Amino acid sequence: MFIHTGNSTRQYPAANLTLTMSLLELAGSDLEAAIREELDKNPALELVDEMRCPTCKRLVKQLPCNFCLQKHTGDEAFVFVSPRSLNYTQTSLDDMDEDNEDGDFRAYFEPPKLSELIFKQIGPFLSPHEMEIAEEILGRLTEEGFLEDSISEIAQHLRVSPTIVEKVLHAIQRCEPVGVASRNAIESMNIQLAELAKEGKDQPIARAILNQHLDKLGRKDFAGLARELRTTEREIRGAFEFIKENLNPIPANGVSESSAKIQRFTQADVIIRRNQHYNQAPLTVEIMGSVRGYLRVQPEIKDAVEQIEDNRQREKWEEQVSRANLFAKCVSQRDNAMLMIVKAIVRHQEEFILQGNACAKKLTRAQLAKELSLHESTISRTVANKLVQMPDNRLVPMSQFFDRSLVERDAVFQIIRQEQSPLSDEQIALQLQKDYNLSVARRTVAKYRTMLGILPASLRQKATGHLPTP
Any domain includes 79 = yes
- Between vectors from CA 412 to CA 411 and to CA 418, what angle results, nearest 5°? 90
- Are 51 and 59 a contacting pair, CB within 8 Å? yes
Has residue 256 been placed in a domain? no
Last residue of a domain, one of 247, 277, 294: 247
Domain identity same for 79 and 6? yes
The pTM is what? 0.56
DSSP assigned state of 323: H
Quick check: is 288 in a domain? yes
Same domain for 143 and 217, yes or no, is: no
User: What CATH number has the domain bearing residue 448?
Assistant: 1.10.10.10
Task: Say if residue 350 is in the same domain as residue 452.
Answer: no
Are 293 and 355 contained in the same domain? yes
In a domain, 121, yes or no: yes
Those residues whose C-beta lies under 8 Å from the C-beta of residue 349, and which sit 6 or more positions away, are: 360, 361, 363, 401
CATH number at residue 119: 1.10.10
Looking at residue 368, its pLDDT comes to 93
Task: State how many domains the chain has.
Answer: 4
**Quick check: 407 and 357 in contact, CB under 8 A?**
yes
Helices (H), 81-150: 106-109, 114-122, 128-139
Q: CB–CB of 88/47 below 8 Å?
A: yes
**Structural domain includes residue 261:** no
pLDDT tens, N- to C-terminus, the chain (470 residues): 334 444 444 444 566 778 878 888 887 667 888 888 888 888 889 888 777 777 777 887 777 777 777 777 777 888 888 876 543 333 333 333 444 444 433 333 344 577 777 876 776 677 778 888 988 998 888 888 899 899 999 999 999 999 999 999 998 888 878 889 998 888 988 888 888 887 677 788 888 888 887 777 777 788 888 888 888 888 888 888 888 878 888 887 766 555 445 444 457 888 898 865 555 668 888 888 766 777 888 888 888 887 888 888 888 888 888 898 989 888 888 888 889 999 999 999 998 898 888 888 888 999 999 999 988 888 988 888 888 888 887 788 888 899 878 888 888 888 988 888 888 889 999 999 988 888 888 888 888 887 777 777 776 654 434 444 44
First to last CA, the chain: 40
Indicate if 336 and 279 belong to the same structural domain: yes
The predicted structure's pLDDT at residue 209:
83
Euclidean distance between CA atoms 466 and 470, whole angstroms = 12
Q: How far is CA 437 from CA 91, 232, 430, in A?
A: 60, 50, 10
Residue 274 and residue 396 in one domain: yes
Give the model's pLDDT for residue 94. 37
Same-domain check for residues 395 and 430: no
My answer on whether 287 and 395 are in the same domain is yes
Same domain, 316 and 333: yes
According to DSSP, the β-strands at 270-273 and 284-288 are antiparallel
Query: 276 and 396: one domain?
Result: yes
Distance CA 105, CA 124 (A): 32
Show the domain range for 160. 114-173
In whole angstroms, give the CA distance from residue 443 to residue 380. 28
Give Cα 194 to chain centroid, integer Å.
18
Identify the pLDDT of residue 372. Answer: 93
Query: 306 with 392, same domain?
Result: yes
Instruction: State the DSSP code for 62.
Output: S
Assess if residue 54 is contained within a domain. yes
